[in-house]
Amino acid sequence: MERLTGLDAAFLYLETPTHHMHVAMTMVLDATSMPGGYSFDKIKDFIEKRLHLVPPFRRRLVNVPLNLHHPVWVDDPHFDLDYHIRRIGCPAPGGRRELGEMAGQIASSPLDRSRPLWELWVIEGLKQDRIGIVTKVHHAAIDGASGAELMVHLFSLEADSPDPEPAPPREPEKIPNELELLGYAAVSKAKRTMTLPRLLSDTVGAVNRVVAGRRDPLVAVGAAPLTAPRTSWTGALSTGRNVGFARVPLPAIKALKTHFGCTVNDVVLALCTGTLRGYMEARDELPDAPLVATCPVSVRPDGENTVGNKVSAMFTSLPTNEDDPAERVRLIQECTVGAKAEHKAVGADMLQNWAEYAAPNTINLASRLYSSFGLAASHRPVHNVIISNVPGPPFPLFYSGAEMVAAYPMGPVMEGVGLNITVFSYQDSVDFGFMVDRVLIPDAWALADRVRDALVELLDAAGLPRDLARPAGTPPPATTTTTPPATTSPNGSSAPTTGTPPTAGDPTPASTRPTKGPAKKAAAKKSAAKKAPAKKPPAKKAAAKPAPANKPTPNKL
């Protein structure tokens, strides 16, 4: 038996019918590397042999009577693996968009608290003989860093790695009765009360340090909560979720980091800023003020491999109101330096310490009232988006013998903010997972498809080659030009037109890709504005049409 920490339990108390507090990961696996070929039973057998290495997969909650204290974890005596591992098929053609739709539906339902708080969905029928795995775990059990640590037990470095040692035999854990739970709660609360004076003193000191820093005009500061502008996705949540994915090359991000003299996290924030700016500009809803992002920060000591949450948060600005991409990076870097300094001034464990005093009934009731009455729309948003960056391994991983091709993380949206962007680096790529409220943002791909344009925009601002934005394995654009049909010149002679059509794999954003044409041609048609038709030259040929404002990402895995 193990009691939840206050922070772990807070994720339970904050959960409502529309505010789901689980984290998820959508993986794409190459089933052709599985020894002996793919089968669903192999996946299930693989997980069953590793259950004893992943404690959250076997434990369920037991609540204290009257919710007088935080719940406790106990081993589930009625554990049923078949309930947790499920099998479904992906609609044709089985690309990323179809996989994202399936992942969004899975994320739209809460977990059953009477069982261990996880589900694993095997999605068959993807392109290129691949399978999808969507794993959903409650935030009360893991955070981003501990979730990455669990990958050590569920993945291997080779396709045919041996199975782990079986679990040693032991007696089933006894479920505590109500009297034992009450007694344990009373002792725990008594010990906790003794630490309150010290916590109050530390809090007063932290507040004074932050206020002093904000009064000093020479000190960089982070963004402040409740100063965010209102956007179309800041509002009351619905029960539905949708998911979009994006992938960019890690070398491009590292090159930008070196050029601008910032961190990888600053470049990720700049990519998110450019993505959101493009999304809002296309909908004519770009606010004059910068957006505010909440960035979870792991405070887990190096070498600690316990499960649960060891996390804090900092607030930073996303200067979507700035035209110059290079200036956006500078502003982000300045703000994150200030946010980190304020986070250090507050203390890494301040949030965790105060969470221990969370009153279960009070917080849960307040959360449900806030959600049911839609109070998020009645005040200025606390923030606009949650952005997490979790580092992953630079080498390939195998899951039941199948090589992991991509891993798209999906964090929870919060009441009042229907957008979460979680980033995970794997080998030479950086994978973006967009979790959105289905009502507030009907099309998650309208965001995901803009990430590559935001990357090219930064590369142009840095004077770096656009080829860096090309995904690994994509052939470079063809250097040869094709000769289009000849046209008749005014003097009656025939001459070929010149120009190179866009090639597959061209990293140039569709909105900025140049199109060459002959010296004399009809005026290009534009859909945004109606103009009088231009006088046509003697030569008859079709008017060139501009490329669409945003070229969607090909629906491939």
Q: Tokens for 18?
A: 């529309």
Which pTM value belongs to this model? 0.83
Q: Look at residue 498 in the predicted model and tell me its pLDDT.
A: 39
Question: What is the residue-wise DSSP string for 79-145?
Answer: --HHHHEEEEEPPTT--HHHHHHHHHHHHTS---TTS-SEEEEEEE--GGGEEEEEEEEETTTB-HH
For the segment 475-487, what is each residue's pLDDT rounded down to a tens digit? 666 554 444 444 4
Q: Where are the domains of the chain?
A: 2-161+179-184, 214-388+413-469
CATH class of 2-161+179-184: alpha beta
Banded pLDDT at 55 (limits 50, 70, 90): confident
Give me the mean pLDDT over the 377-391 stretch: 93
Burial 179-216 (b: 16+ CB within 10 A, else e): eebbebbeebeeeeeeeeeebeeeeeebeebbeebeee
Give me the mean pLDDT over the 92-103 stretch: 96
Kindly report the CA angle at 384 between 225 and 205, in degrees rounded to 5? 20
pLDDT exceeds cutoff 90 at 98? yes
Q: Under a CB-based contact definition with an 8 Å cutoff, are residues 487 and 497 in contact? A: yes
Closest CA to 433 of 450, 409, 405, 453: 409
For tokens 């004059």, the residue is: 288
pLDDT exceeds cutoff 60 at 455? yes
Q: Look at residue 487 in the predicted model and tell me its pLDDT.
A: 42
What are the φ/ψ torsions at residue 419 (nearest 5 degrees)?
-145, 130
C-alpha distances in Å from residue 44, one per residue of 31, 59, 83, 85, 106: 14, 18, 11, 7, 19
Distance CA 372, CA 517 (A): 58
- 138 classed as catalytic: no
Give me the mean pLDDT over the 301-311 stretch: 67
Closest CA to 272 of 241, 249, 246: 246
Q: Strands, E, within 400-529: which ranges?
A: 402-410, 419-426, 429-437, 486-488, 494-496
For the segment 414-437, what is each residue's pLDDT rounded down to a tens digit? 999 999 999 999 999 999 999 999
> DSSP 3-state assignment of 182?
helix
Give me the mean pLDDT over the 42-66 stretch: 92
For the segment 10-26, what is each residue's pLDDT rounded down to a tens digit? 999 999 999 999 999 99
Length of the chain: 557
In the set 139, 153, 379, 383, the catalytic residue is 139
Distance CA 16, CA 313 (A): 22
Q: Under a CB-based contact definition with an 8 Å cutoff, are residues 431 and 473 in contact? A: no
Q: Tokens for 289?
A: 């003020």
Distance CA 9, CA 71 (A): 7
pLDDT exceeds cutoff 80 at 490? no
Banded pLDDT at 84 (limits 50, 70, 90): very high
Q: Bridge partners of 75?
A: 59
Distance CA 116, CA 43 (A): 19
Question: What is the residue-wise DSSP string for 281-299?
Answer: HHTT---SSPEEEEEEEE-
CATH topology of domain 214-388+413-469: Chloramphenicol Acetyltransferase (3.30.559)
Q: Dihedral sign for Cα 93, 95, 97, 98, please.
A: positive
For the segment 241-253, what is each residue's pLDDT rounded down to a tens digit? 999 999 999 999 9
For the segment 157-200, what is each residue's pLDDT rounded down to a tens digit? 999 888 888 888 878 888 888 998 998 888 888 888 888 888 88
